[in-house]
Amino acid sequence: MSEKYIMALDAGTTSCRAILFKKDGTIHKISQKEFNQYYPKSAWVEHDAMEIWGTMMGVMREVIEMSFISPQDISCLGITNQRETTVVWNKHTGKPVYNAIVWQCRRTADYCEELEKMGYSEMIKSKTGLKIDAYFSATKIKWILDNVKGAREEAEKGNLLFGTIDTWIIWNLTRGKSHVTDYTNASRTMLFNLNSLQWDDELIELFDIPKSMLPEVLPSSGILGHTDKKMLAGAEIAISGCAGDQQASMFGQACFDLGDVKNTYGTGCFVMMNTGDRPIYSNYGLLTTIAWGIGDRIEYALEGSIFIAGSLIQWLRDELKMIDTSEDSEYYSMKVKDNNGVYIVPAFTGLGAPYWDMYARGTIVGLTRSSKKEHIIRASLEAIAYQSKDVIMAMNDDSKININKLKVDGGASNNGFLMQFQSNILNIDVYKSKLSESTALGAAFLAGLGIGMYKDKDEIKSICSYDKVYRADDDREKYENYYKNWKKAVGRSFSWAK
């Protein structure tokens, strides 16, 4: 009997990937292809949803062919996706009425400010756990209905459907049989009530969105549909796992226990903390969201986003020309014994949690005649760790849960200097997973769990092993002083552009 695989579909912001995993979490094959980004106006970002679907279908077929397997050798399929990105399409033709509006798009920012002035912030936060922001799906749906000719009329006739990218992919895989999403993606729309676990009628009315457009909300692990027979050579593969990218990463890192925290070090950083079976609302502007739903059990998370992380190292490379490759940052940081009093606050686009100052700007402080490029490079890596500490300390205060370890993934988690400094500044152990691709792996684990391939989360946890554990230095006074100086440096960046 041939080995059975789990296929994970990772619908990212710039590319689609299909990954075949073995049951032990190791990768058999990967296929990846990028798709186009569209910027019709300043701060507007769009994708062609048909291109995303075509690209995903292409990588699915390619990874099967590359592996010399039959579609029948795939036991189940899990999906993870860029969150909040909004597609509205005609349910009869399958054609989108407009390009997908991407999570990064700011076209509805003015409308969001109006909602805040009208006093809706607390109501929306108490229902959804979210800040009013153009980031989320609700205002994007409203924009399409208000600005695309004939869209509102068609929606009110029941002819249009809405979905985030997971919903769009599943609808196409099932040839329109399943119009569904999971709890994690629903919780990022600004339309879903975290307490009732239903689409919220008051919010639907506020945003003037016909309820018939909204998908059915299902658990993140369990049957969401089956691939249509004509899709993959007659195979009806169970689609049995689905989660937004950060939640999938958290599941792939086995953050199953109360207080478990993961940090994904990418262009920015996404920090998420498991808060168990109750939503915790933040005093620092962190987001309250659903971690996942399995069976009838919902687990919640606090999430904090750091705008500038890996992109700070790219800035050193591409604009300042201080390094040739991102990997050089580790080498140069180790060439000096400390930062020589230099601190960088990378507030290129303002500061997020816990400061929330959109007028803050990037700042370098503490320069002296003895400052060298090595100090600036080291200060840049340290800034990523300081920002992560800011968010984790906010989570600690919001939740009153003691955080004793951090699980890490993403490109910059391969930087040994950064990971050791992160451990030192937090005074906790930092665990780097041995298994790569934690986001897609999380989707695979959810899918496998959804068909009984894994008995429970404990079996998944036993698969997760760690490549490296970074343990904090004993010199606490030194790192406490570093952090005090960081806070002073942050204060110098406030309100610069006001």
pLDDT band at 1 (very low <50, low <70, confident <90, very high): very low
> Do the beta carbons of residue 418 and residue 385 sit within 8 Å?
yes
pTM (predicted TM-score) = 0.89
Binding-site residues for sn-glycerol 3-phosphate, in ranges, read 13, 83-84, 135, 245
% of the chain with per-residue pLDDT over 70: 99
Q: Assess whether pLDDT exceeds 80 at residue 3.
A: no
What the block records as the tokens of 412 is 């910059």
> Do the beta carbons of residue 141 and residue 209 sit within 8 Å?
yes
pLDDT band at 478 (very low <50, low <70, confident <90, very high): very high
Q: Assess whether pLDDT exceeds 80 at residue 233.
A: no
Give the other-Cβ count within 10 Å of 11's Cβ: 25
Q: How far apart are CA 211 and CA 35, in angstroms?
A: 31
At residue 351, the pLDDT reads 86
Q: Mean of the pLDDT values across residues 169-181?
A: 96
Q: Assess whether pLDDT exceeds 70 at residue 132.
A: yes
Binding-site residues for ATP, in ranges, read 13-15, 267, 310, 314, 411
The overall average pLDDT reported for the chain is 92
> Do the beta carbons of residue 184 and residue 247 sit within 8 Å?
yes
Q: Assess whether pLDDT exceeds 90 at residue 170.
A: yes
What are the Cα distances from residue 85, in Å, to 220, 368, 466? 18, 45, 33
Q: Assess whether pLDDT exceeds 70 at residue 377.
A: yes
Q: Assess whether pLDDT exceeds 80 at residue 435.
A: no
Binding-site residues for ADP, in ranges, read 13, 17, 267, 310, 411, 415
CATH topology of domain 5-236: Nucleotidyltransferase; domain 5 (3.30.420)
What digits encode the pLDDT tens for the residues 24-49? Answer: 999 999 999 998 888 998 888 899 99
Quick one: which of 82, 425, 5 has its CA closest to 243? 82
> Do the beta carbons of residue 184 and residue 164 sit within 8 Å?
no
Binding-site residues, in ranges, read 13-15, 17, 83-84, 135, 245-246, 267, 310, 314, 411, 415
Q: What is the chain's percent helix, strand, coil content, to nearest 5?
A: 35, 25, 40
At residue 230, the pLDDT reads 86
Binding-site residues for glycerol, in ranges, read 83-84, 135, 245-246
At residue 5, the pLDDT reads 93
At residue 2, the pLDDT reads 58
Q: How far apart are CA 314 and CA 326, in angstroms?
A: 7
> Do the beta carbons of residue 365 and residue 310 sit within 8 Å?
no
What are the Cα distances from residue 445, in Å, to 107, 243, 422, 426? 36, 11, 28, 29
Which class would CATH give 254-497?
Answer: alpha beta
Residues of the chain within CATH 3.30.420.40 domain(s) are 5-236, 254-497
What digits encode the pLDDT tens for the residues 274-314? Answer: 999 999 999 998 999 999 999 889 999 999 988 888 889 99
**What residue type is 399 in one-letter code?**
S
**What residue type is 226 in one-letter code?**
H
What digits encode the pLDDT tens for the residues 338-365? Answer: 999 999 999 987 888 888 887 889 999 9
